[in-house]
Structure 1
Amino acid sequence: MSPCTYLMMWFVLKRHSRPCGPSPAPSKHCIVIRVYDAGEVFGIMQVQREEEDEDGEDGERKKDNPGVVVGCKVVVTRGSGLQVSDPTSIYLVDHAWTYRVEHARQQLEQIPGLVSRMASLMGLDFHGEVPTPDVVELILERMWKYNQTYQLSQGSAEEKVPVWYVMDEFGSQVQHSDHPSCCMAPFFYIPGQLAYTLLWPLQDLQQGDEVTRDYAYGETNPLQRRCRLLPWIHDDLDGVSSVITEPADSYYEAIARENKEQLPVEVQPATVPKDKILKVFTEMSQVRNNLTHPRFLLTEDEEEADIIWSYGHIKDYRKLSEERPHVMLNQFPCENIVTVKDCLAAVARRIKGGPTPDWLPETFNLQMELPQFIKHYQLRQHRLDVVFCHHYQVFLL
């Protein structure tokens, strides 16, 4: 077994605490040589099924492999199968394409061979060398069924922007199941600045058994699972309303706990003499480079400042109100109620006492209101289809 297997086993034991026995210390050698040994254990099988009613037996299989009529699946090919108790039963899957959304089109148009590989992986009929606009558009449309994502927890703000990736031909053919036989998770090797995906079994598998994973892993709410699986399993969301309800008080209480703000004591408004030069402390270059009015003076000492224009989140309002009650700030307690988009929308609806006011676009919090968002989109799409059909019929007449 390759040294990669042992390193990844060590990682999963540490990350997921799987009781699979002792594991050796990690080896950097495996990352350098990048041994992908899944081909010794798994194979990709092309499958073709006859379409039947969703309520039939075949309909149940389609739920495990959504949208597949002619396609591929991954099966165990090794005669000895795969055992959960085997500490070497963990495998490395490569990533075929890693990108940020704003660069996707440019990379498809400029990186040699990328369009051909993505078209083949996604089952598109393209055999040329030069990317055509139509094929690029199809890839940009279909890639969301294959996309995975991760986000670095350290580094600059730019480095923390979510990264999207498409697994290689092997990883991308692992189908969905509500009762998966395996689990897959991204693994980022910081010294080499390389990302991989780990695959390991959740149950013993025999030769010929299918390798599946849960596309909505971690989501236990039945309605939310239906929404998250919508790209692969069609669902009209019958019975779901697009109307957004007012968040419970517990939602705002959770925000307040997460912010950890210390509310100020009551203070009297300060009166500033007209001839006083106000000292300003700020870390923001926009303010430092453009604050040129003679009534303001930049200072490096926060303690002597009359105005604190902070880039970071001010949390200890109580201390400031008690020790420096007349200092002026560019923030106020609980301001995210109006500066965060979904909270602003909720406040606006509350003030109006009903639906979203005319001046505010429809706003959804996808963590809590994903079903309403999808239903709103479906209803709007239906209205557009009806209008299009109506105009088309008039044109024919």
Structure 2
Amino acid sequence: MDYEAFVNVHKPQLQSSGVPEHFWPDLYRKLAGQVFDAGLAFSLLAVDYGDEVRSAEDPVWLLQVSKEGGMKADDPTEIYLIDHAWTFRTDNARQLLTAHPELVSRLAVMMGLEQDDTVPPAAYIPRILQDMWRWCNTYSVSADGLSVENRMPIWYVMDEVGSAVLHGDSPNCRIVPFMHIAEGITYSLLFPIEDIDEGDTLYRDFVEGVPSDAKERDALLLPWRYCSFVKEDFSQSEPSKEYFLAGHVEETLPGEDIPPPLIDANRSLKVYSQYEMVNKYLTDPSYELVDEPAEADILWMTSHFKEFRELSESRPNTFVNQFPFENVMTIKDLLSIICRRAAADGVGEETGDSDPLVHPRPRWLPVTYNLKTELVAFASYFQNRAQRGLDNHWIVKPWNLARTLDTHITDNLAQIMRLQQTGPKIAQKYIEHPVLFERTELEAAVKFDVRYVLLVKSVDDLCAYVYTNFFLRFANKPFQLDDFDDYEKHFTVMNYGEFTLRHMKCDEFRRCWATQYPRHDWDAIETDICTMLKEMLQGATKLRPPCGIGASQQSRGLYAVDLMLEWTGEAYTRIQPKLLEVNFTPDCKRACECYPDFVRNAHGRCVPTCPIGCEHGDCPGGSSVCICHEGYELDAERGKMCVPKCTGGCGTTGRCVDVERCECAEGYGFHPEHKCAPLCEGGCRGGKCVAPNVCQCEAGYEKVDNVCEPICSSGCFHGTCVAPETCSCKPGYKKIGDQCTASCDQPCLNGECTGPNVCSCNRGYELDAVNPFHCIPHCPNGCPNGVCSGPNMCLCNAGFVKDRSLKGSQACVRRTDAVKS
């Protein structure tokens, strides 16, 4: 490949990376001749900290210009090839390290991990996986015909030379990735952006393009330098109309007075479908498949439909399977916004429990932050949770992809900040107490999620139905809150890879559920799920487009809602549905294969089972008349709502609030066997409620003010006795043995943690005014021309040396002056 061909192929890449054109000829020469001459221009220096302990933020290596005369930014030869020591994707990082122990040893040296010849390389892998976010960089490949899987971010660690270049807010060089198309190899290119003197250290900006005064810059730099965000506001507010339109092709809306389509009931409806499952399973004689959209009464599209006004004007009697601006439900960051409207309205929320760190609202939505627009707020929320000792595992995922692509689970804030740079993502609180399902063939309890198919008929007068044959997906390994790169432990989507796929119909699941969780009736859980879906739809339709779903008489929408169940409550005894995502034109292959009538139902049969519109009833033919399900009856007052029925009534002191469930008089509550049982405030934990507010304590508990309190015989200093002989430490303390000892969010460098987030420095050190967890060396006389690197010990800047004319002097003088003396 000659130079002209090289430029033709690589020009877009070089221009987008900002490589000045005067470097291109020499870059071509070095690539063609495989010239790696960085060693002739730079010196790689290990930073010696002596007896001082190096903190995680301190550099391990420096790269200095050793070339005589320094480097000139306009010199066309000053561009250097940097090789990559390790290239990986996050899902195979551990596998690559395990297979290449020599790579582990090399990375351990580069990262400054303490070496021990008696320790096998595999022992360093967890630390490398934790620390690598300070060292790795990323790029992605985009080309016509490339699958979405192959477009996922690629991560890499540069060789020792590239990795030694430090971050600087005033950089003197840049390093950018470069793919040499002819070789199919990716390098990094190092070049100066200003003249650099001989002996100077190289610095580059790790977060290019972010203004120096922006708080987002400090957040993005968290992997390399600590910054406290605990005082920043982490609350979330409704964004502007422009936010909903950003990156979205705006749709047209039908007129407000458009009548509903007129359908000739004496002929079959013609259906044009882009979805093969509809074409295969729509066999009902009431429908006829056609090949042209212009002939159809129903358009079943898998591509996004935008022309709703045009459809209402030219074909007013045609239905389409999409609503205007339904993306507010199907795009993950917008979904969290419309769901938070339920909390703003107080819909379905209980009083009390107002701490947003512990009890976020709505309770069925995992806390979700947009890592582009809410980055600082997220950093604050994360650090505040850490300060309170709360779980901080998050799942980071693109808001515009599915099938768990580019999705990561971590409690590493540095990793989350780096993932933010690989495309638009949300950080969503990971469910740390999921309800598990016992897979008998594995003899293990695994994660599972549930998919309900939601059919929306109208949004102006909200009416929606739920297909009660829900669908299940299971993990393949026992759940533990660890090994987050183990896909089969933490994820349930197994039908897009080479994984074992566990099929189970909902009827079988219900039978297993009744055996595994006899105290938690599935019908009651399903009612909670449907209430959640109703509140979600209310949030989605509360505002007009583009902030909400638009009304259209010609629209019907079919969506797949994925959710999980989580144990909540003080004793983790309550099951709470948690909404994960809503899918546009979902994959209905399982639905069609398991339930052959699914497509027929979705198109024309009313199968409502949820309290959305006609609660606890069906509406034959789509009419407004409810026929109640078994166990329900029309309310006596309006005759339109299906209310629960209690056989024999509930007496004069109670009322029927659910099927065969009474709300009892004051001091008593519903009990499955005894109808009403006495209640004790606080639930009588550790005892038995034998009369209203009268507890009889169990062994290991003692009665204090009519409450059974656990006994801790050794005391519980700095903590709370939560169970017999079991202490739970207060925030700022952690359990060591039987005692609660002070805890600091970060290790006390050169000091000792003596109180919650309180560091006391060792002799010869003083507390850093910027980082409260760092004790920095103290030099009484200062260190002109150097830095204080240890107690009364100076490390001279480049070009300076210790003044050896005075014994024990720490003064730094210019190298020329030292020679003269």
TM-score, normalised relative to structure 1: 0.81
Tell me the residue number matched to 1:56: none
Deviation at 1:268, TM superposition (A): 2.6
Deviation at 1:192, TM superposition (A): 3.3
Deviation at 1:197, TM superposition (A): 1.4
What is the CA RMSD across the aligned residues, in angstroms?
Answer: 3.5
User: Cα distance 1:325–1:99, how it changes in 2: closer, same or farther (>3 A)?
Assistant: farther
Tell me the residue number matched to 1:372: 377
Tell me the residue number matched to 2:164: 173
Moved more, 293-302 or 343-352: 293-302
Partners of 2:178 and 2:232 in 1: how far apart? 37
Greater fraction of residues in strand: 2
Identity of aligned residues (%): 34
Q: CA offsets, 1:330-366, max 9 Å, x none?
A: 3222222222222122222234327731111101001
**Are residues 1:107 and 2:112 paired?**
no
Q: Map of 1:213-362 to 2, 5 A cutoff?
A: 213-220=204-211, 221-252=213-244, 254-255=245-246, 258-266=247-255, 267-273=258-264, 276-282=268-274, 284-285=275-276, 287-288=278-279, 291=282, 293-353=284-344, 356-362=361-367
User: Cα distance 1:190–1:309, how it changes in 2: closer, same or farther (>3 A)?
Assistant: farther
User: Cα distance 1:217–1:391, how it changes in 2: closer, same or farther (>3 A)?
Assistant: closer
Partners of 2:162 and 2:303 in 1: how far apart? 41
Partners of 2:51 and 2:373 in 1: how far apart? 35
Moved more, 43-52 or 363-372: 43-52
Deviation at 1:158, TM superposition (A): 1.3
Q: Which amino acid aligns with 1:249?
A: K
Moved more, 306-315 or 170-179: 306-315
**Are residues 1:14 and 2:15 paired?**
yes
User: Cα distance 1:298–1:239, how it changes in 2: closer, same or farther (>3 A)?
Assistant: same
Deviation at 1:22, TM superposition (A): 8.7
Tell me the residue number matched to 2:426: none
Q: Which amino acid aligns with 2:384?
A: L
Deviation at 1:130, TM superposition (A): 5.8
Q: Map of 1:84-233 to 2, 5 A cutoff?
A: 84-111=73-100, 113-126=102-115, 131-132=121-122, 134-154=123-143, 155-220=146-211, 221-233=213-225
Q: CA offsets, 1:102-126, max 9 Å, x none?
A: 1112222224533222222222235
Q: Map of 1:48-67 to 2, 5 A cutoff?
A: 48=48, 67=57
Deviation at 1:382, TM superposition (A): 1.8
Moved more, 10-19 or 342-351: 10-19
Which one has a bigger Cα radius of gyration?
A: 2
Deviation at 1:314, TM superposition (A): 2.5
Partners of 2:377 and 2:17 in 1: how far apart? 33
**Are residues 1:392 and 2:738 paired?**
no
Partner-residue secondary structure (3-state), 2:380: helix
Partners of 2:201 and 2:736 in 1: how far apart? 49
Deviation at 1:261, TM superposition (A): 2.5
User: Cα distance 1:335–1:390, how it changes in 2: closer, same or farther (>3 A)?
Assistant: same
CA contact (8 A) 2:251 2:308 kept: yes
Greater fraction of residues in helix: 1
Partners of 1:76 and 1:247 in 2: how far apart? 48
Tell me the residue number matched to 1:58: none
Partners of 1:341 and 1:102 in 2: how far apart? 22
Partners of 1:286 and 1:147 in 2: how far apart? 43
Partners of 1:326 and 1:248 in 2: how far apart? 35
User: Cα distance 1:199–1:391, how it changes in 2: closer, same or farther (>3 A)?
Assistant: closer
CA contact (8 A) 1:184 1:213 kept: yes
Moved more, 218-227 or 352-361: 352-361
Q: CA offsets, 1:133-153, max 9 Å, x none?
A: x42211111111112112223
Partners of 1:325 and 1:51 in 2: how far apart? 81
Q: Which amino acid aligns with 2:153?
A: P
Q: Which amino acid aligns with 2:172?
A: S
Q: CA offsets, 1:358-388, max 9 Å, x none?
A: 1111010010111111111111122227647
Partner-residue secondary structure (3-state), 2:142: coil
CA contact (8 A) 1:108 1:131 kept: no
CA contact (8 A) 2:269 2:298 kept: no
CA contact (8 A) 2:110 2:160 kept: yes
CA contact (8 A) 1:182 1:211 kept: yes
Partner-residue secondary structure (3-state), 1:197: strand
Unaligned runs of 5+ in 1: 53-61
Tell me the residue number matched to 2:38: 38
Partner-residue secondary structure (3-state), 1:392: strand
Partner-residue secondary structure (3-state), 2:735: helix
Partner-residue secondary structure (3-state), 2:98: helix
User: Cα distance 1:243–1:118, how it changes in 2: closer, same or farther (>3 A)?
Assistant: same
CA contact (8 A) 1:261 1:333 kept: no
User: Cα distance 1:328–1:158, how it changes in 2: closer, same or farther (>3 A)?
Assistant: farther
Partners of 1:169 and 1:238 in 2: how far apart? 35
Q: CA offsets, 1:270-319, max 9 Å, x none?
A: 2444551432321x455555555554555443433443333333333333
Partners of 1:260 and 1:11 in 2: how far apart? 27
User: Cα distance 1:13–1:383, how it changes in 2: closer, same or farther (>3 A)?
Assistant: closer
User: Cα distance 1:12–1:288, how it changes in 2: closer, same or farther (>3 A)?
Assistant: closer
| Length, aligned pairs only | 375
Partners of 1:67 and 1:159 in 2: how far apart? 34
User: Cα distance 1:363–1:107, how it changes in 2: closer, same or farther (>3 A)?
Assistant: same
Deviation at 1:223, TM superposition (A): 0.5
Partners of 2:26 and 2:198 in 1: how far apart? 30
User: Cα distance 1:297–1:112, how it changes in 2: closer, same or farther (>3 A)?
Assistant: farther
Partners of 2:309 and 2:223 in 1: how far apart? 48
Partners of 2:92 and 2:227 in 1: how far apart? 31
Partners of 1:206 and 1:83 in 2: how far apart? 9
Partners of 2:84 and 2:284 in 1: how far apart? 54
Structure number with the bigger relative contact order (C-alpha 8 A, sep ≥ 6) is 1
Tell me the residue number matched to 1:381: 386
CA contact (8 A) 1:91 1:198 kept: yes
CA contact (8 A) 1:183 1:202 kept: yes
Partners of 1:101 and 1:358 in 2: how far apart? 31
TM-score, normalised relative to structure 2: 0.42
User: Cα distance 1:392–1:193, how it changes in 2: closer, same or farther (>3 A)?
Assistant: same
User: Cα distance 1:30–1:74, how it changes in 2: closer, same or farther (>3 A)?
Assistant: closer
Moved more, 337-346 or 383-392: 383-392
Partners of 1:303 and 1:309 in 2: how far apart? 12
Moved more, 170-179 or 113-122: 113-122
Partners of 2:285 and 2:35 in 1: how far apart? 65
Tell me the residue number matched to 2:355: none
Partners of 2:278 and 2:160 in 1: how far apart? 50
Q: CA offsets, 1:34-70, max 9 Å, x none?
A: 4322222112111235899xxxxxxxxx9xx9811x6
